[in-house]
């Protein structure tokens, strides 16, 4: 089974801190995604990447950046954390040629105080 | 603009009843429609999926009904159980599978 591993289940950070959320997948998936999930708003796409060193903005990229230096790792960076970034963050990956959906990680619950 | 619209936002069903969640889309290029199930504290997991060449797909108690002309699809959970209580997301993708568009989610509560 494909595994998508998010490095932290829970994080508490202070306003203004630089925050790194890490995601690693172990099945050579080409595509990787970062979503945030908030009650009533569903899954909102922050950034995605189709290949190493490539990135594209999703629907809500403001306040975030990403890094993909290796195929298996996709990092989400909050340059200066704010309280409105308190959320559940979900990483996902996929291999389009296999014609199946995403595999999600278990999520990181980030609280910014 | 939301590409996939999902309703209801929440649903309460008695044990043994039928749970029905509906989704609609506009983009006729979509040709793969999965449903994801998410338990509290977990990431969404693929539950069942359908392609538009069939009108129905059944896996155990879970059935997807697909109406291509109406651009709608729905998830039916027969004999709903308390263990089915979760958030359900519908999604859609075009043939290249590069990106999926998700509905806003339905929180299902099955009462014992």
Contact A104 B45 (CB under 8 A): yes
| Per-residue model confidence (pLDDT) at position B1 | 67
- What is the rounded distance in angstroms from the CA atom of residue A102 to the CA atom of residue A61? 20
The CA distance from A11 to the nearest CA of chain B, in Å, is 14
Q: What is the CATH number of the domain that holds B25?
A: 2.60.40.10
| Nearest-Cα residue of chain A relative to residue B31 | A99
Contact A94 B97 (CB under 8 A): yes
- What is the rounded distance in angstroms from the CA atom of residue B6 to the CA atom of residue A34? 21
- What is the rounded distance in angstroms from the CA atom of residue A97 to the CA atom of residue B52? 18
Per-residue confidence at A39, pLDDT binned at 50, 70, 90? Answer: confident
Instruction: Examine the pLDDT at A2 and tell me if it is beyond 70.
Output: no
Contact A31 B98 (CB under 8 A): yes
Contact B91 A101 (CB under 8 A): yes
Q: Residue A88: give the domain boundaries.
A: 4-112
Cβ atoms within 10 Å of A85's Cβ, excluding its own = 18
Q: What is the CATH number of the domain that holds A15?
A: 2.60.40.10
Domain count, chain B: 1
Domain count, chain A: 1
Q: Residue B25: give the domain boundaries.
A: 4-111
| Per-residue model confidence (pLDDT) at position A42 | 87
Omega before residue A17 within 30° of 0, cis: no
Mean of the per-residue pLDDT values of chain B: 94
Encode pLDDT of B34-76 as tens digits: 999 999 989 999 999 999 899 999 999 999 999 999 999 999 9
- What is the rounded distance in angstroms from the CA atom of residue B18 to the CA atom of residue B76? 7
> Could you say which of A48, A101, A106 has the minimum Cβ distance to residue B43?
A106
**What's the whole-number mean pLDDT along residues B73-99?**
93
Whether the CB-CB separation of B79 and B14 falls below 8 Å is answered with no
């Amino acid at each position: 089974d494909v595994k998508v591993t998010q490095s932290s289940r829970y994080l508490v950070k202070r306003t203004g801190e630089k925050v790194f959320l890490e995601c690693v997948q172990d099945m050579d998936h080409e595509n990787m995604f970062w979503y945030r999930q908030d009650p009533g708003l569903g899954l909102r796409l922050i950034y995605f990447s189709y290949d190493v060193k490539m990135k594209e903005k999703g629907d809500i990229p403001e306040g975030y950046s990403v890094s993909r230096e290796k195929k298996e790792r996709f990092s989400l960076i909050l340059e200066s954390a704010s309280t409105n970034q308190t959320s559940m963050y979900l990483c996902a990956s996929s291999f389009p040629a296999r014609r199946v959906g995403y595999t999600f990680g278990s999520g990181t619950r980030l609280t910014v105080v | 603009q939301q590409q996939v619209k999902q309703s209801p936002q929440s649903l309460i069903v008695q044990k043994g009843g039928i749970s029905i969640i509906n989704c609609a889309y506009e983009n006729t290029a979509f040709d793969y429609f999965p449903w994801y199930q998410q338990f509290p504290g977990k990431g969404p997991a693929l539950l069942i999926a359908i392609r538009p060449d069939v009108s129905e797909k059944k896996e155990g108690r879970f059935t997807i009904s697909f109406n291509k002309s109406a651009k709608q699809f729905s998830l039916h959970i027969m004999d709903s159980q308390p263990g089915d209580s979760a958030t359900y997301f519908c999604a859609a993708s075009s043939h290249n599978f590069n990106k999926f568009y998700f509905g806003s989610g339905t929180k299902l509560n099955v009462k014992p």
